[in-house]
Amino acid sequence: MKRALVTVNAIAVGATLAYLGWLLADALRARQPWAITCYDCKACTARCVLGLDPQGFVSAALAGSGDVYVYATNVRLPVRRALEIDPEMLVTVADRHLTAREAAAALGPDAELVTFKMRARDAARVCFRCGACEKGCGLRLPLLRLIAQLRGDAGNEWAAHAP
Ligand code: SF4
Ligand code: SF4
Q: What are the pLDDT digits (tens) for 49-81? A: 999 999 999 999 888 889 999 999 999 999 999
Nearest C-alpha neighbor of 64 from the set 115, 40, 90, 28:
28
Measured N-to-C along each axis, helices 54-63 and 143-151 cross at an angle, to the nearest 10 degrees, of 60
Query: Among the residues of 30-91, which ranges form H helices?
Result: 43-46, 54-63, 79-85
82 & 97 share domain: yes
Ligand 1 centre and the CA of 14: distance in Å?
Answer: 38
What's the confidence (pLDDT) of residue 100?
Answer: 97
16 & 95 share domain: no
17 & 38 share domain: no
Asked whether residue 119 is assigned to any structural domain, the reply reads yes
Model's pTM, two decimal places? 0.81
Rounded-to-integer distance, Cα 150 and Cα 67, Å: 10
Pocket test for ligand 1, best of 52, 75, 125, 153 (most atoms within 8 A of CB): 52
User: Which ligand has the shortest distance to the CA of 144?
Assistant: 1
48 & 22 share domain: no
